[in-house]
């Protein structure tokens, strides 16, 4: 049976001020390095936490939304302070952090664990925190320092890639605030509220 397209991923989603700062950093880097290719649109900026797949069944989508509400991680600040690239055929350039805060990896690990417990299939690739700013560069970018962009992270989101649109658009279908906790799932009577807000 052929599954319907339903491309989903959990991500960090910058606010407008952070998007503007990232766009300016990308513009300056492009002017300085002249890499060719094309800049990512600021409205598409995100940092992927976990990729769920290209054809996520409705059952897994619902289970992922319920599981995400169990995550307890304190808000944190992510400093984007250097740029680099991956060596695949599209040569994407990205911004990242020399020293990602422990809470970022805690958020990834905790989210992965609650999805595993909910029997939701996820991509098994190693977590390499990055935010793509440019694609189809002519050459790779060695590690390059940039003026730091401070990103206050207060939530994470679930995003659907709208493959039915041209160009493809991202649709945020759930948001969860970051809040301190002991990393354990909430008690049953604490999880009755709607924490994932469909948009």
The CATH number of residue 23's host domain is: 3.90.1140.10
116 is a domain residue? yes
Contact 68, 174 (CB under 8 A): yes
Percent helix, strand and coil across the chain, each rounded to 5?
A: 25, 30, 45
Domain extent for 133: 7-182
**At a CB cut-off of 8 Å and minimum separation 6, what does 160 contact?**
6, 7, 8, 170, 171, 173
Can you give the pTM of this predicted structure?
0.87
Is pLDDT of 184 > 70? no
Q: Do the domain assignments include residue 87?
A: yes
119 conformational bin, left if phi > 0, alpha if psi -120 to 50, beta if neither = left
Please report the pLDDT score of residue 199 as a whole number: 36
pLDDT for the residue numbered 182: 54
Q: Does some domain include residue 194? A: no
Flag whether 110 is in a domain. Answer: yes
Long-range interactions of 32-35: CB distance < 8 A, separation 24+:
33/141, 33/144, 35/93, 35/134, 35/137, 35/138, 35/139, 35/141
Mean local confidence (pLDDT), 123-147: 93
- Res. 183: pLDDT tops 80: no
Residue 191 falls inside a structural domain = no
Distance CA 174, CA 68 (A): 9
pLDDT tens for 60-96 read 999 999 999 999 999 999 999 999 999 887 899 999 9
Least confident span in 19-28, 56-65, 119-128, 180-189 = 180-189
Is 50 exposed, middle or buried, given 0-12, 13-18 or 19+ CB atoms closer than 10 A?
Answer: buried
44 within domain boundaries? yes
Lowest mean pLDDT among 75-84, 95-104, 162-171, 183-192: 183-192
Residue 76 lies in a domain: yes
User: Per the structure, how many domains does the chain have?
Assistant: 1
How far apart are the C-alpha atoms of 74 and 37, rounded to whole Å? 37
**How high is the pLDDT of residue 195?**
36
Instruction: With respect to residue 102, please indicate whether it lies within any of the assigned structural domains.
Output: yes
Assess whether pLDDT exceeds 90 at residue 186: no
Q: What percent of the chain has pLDDT over 90?
A: 79
Task: Give the range among 30-34, 122-126, 158-162, 183-187 with minimum mean pLDDT.
Answer: 183-187
Distance CA 85, CA 64 (A): 30
Average pLDDT over residues 94-122: 96
For position 38, what pLDDT does the model report? 94
Q: Is the per-residue pLDDT at 192 higher than 50?
A: no
The model's pLDDT over 44-57, given as tens digits with 9 standing for 90+, comes to 999 999 999 999 99
């Amino acid at each position: 049976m052929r599954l319907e397209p339903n491309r989903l991923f959990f991500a960090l989603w910058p606010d407008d001020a952070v998007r503007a700062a990232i766009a300016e950093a990308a513009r300056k880097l492009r002017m300085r390095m002249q890499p060719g290719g094309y800049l990512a649109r600021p409205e598409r900026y995100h940092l992927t936490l976990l990729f769920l797949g290209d054809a996520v069944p409705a059952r897994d989508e619902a289970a992922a939304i319920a599981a995400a509400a169990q995550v307890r991680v304190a808000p944190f600040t992510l400093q984007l302070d250097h740029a680099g690239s991956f060596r695949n055929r599209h040569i994407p350039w990205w911004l990242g952090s020399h020293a990602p805060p422990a809470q970022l990896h805690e958020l990834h690990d905790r989210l992965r664990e609650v999805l595993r417990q909910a029997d939701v299939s996820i991509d098994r690739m190693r977590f390499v925190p990055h935010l793509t700013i440019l694609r189809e560069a002519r050459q790779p970018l060695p590690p390059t320092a940039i003026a730091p962009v401070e990103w206050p992270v207060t939530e994470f989101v679930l995003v659907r890639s709208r493959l039915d649109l041209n160009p493809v658009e991202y649709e945020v279908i759930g948001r969860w605030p970051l809040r301190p906790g002991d990393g354990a799932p909430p008690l049953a009577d604490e999880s009755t509220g709607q924490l994932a807000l469909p948009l």
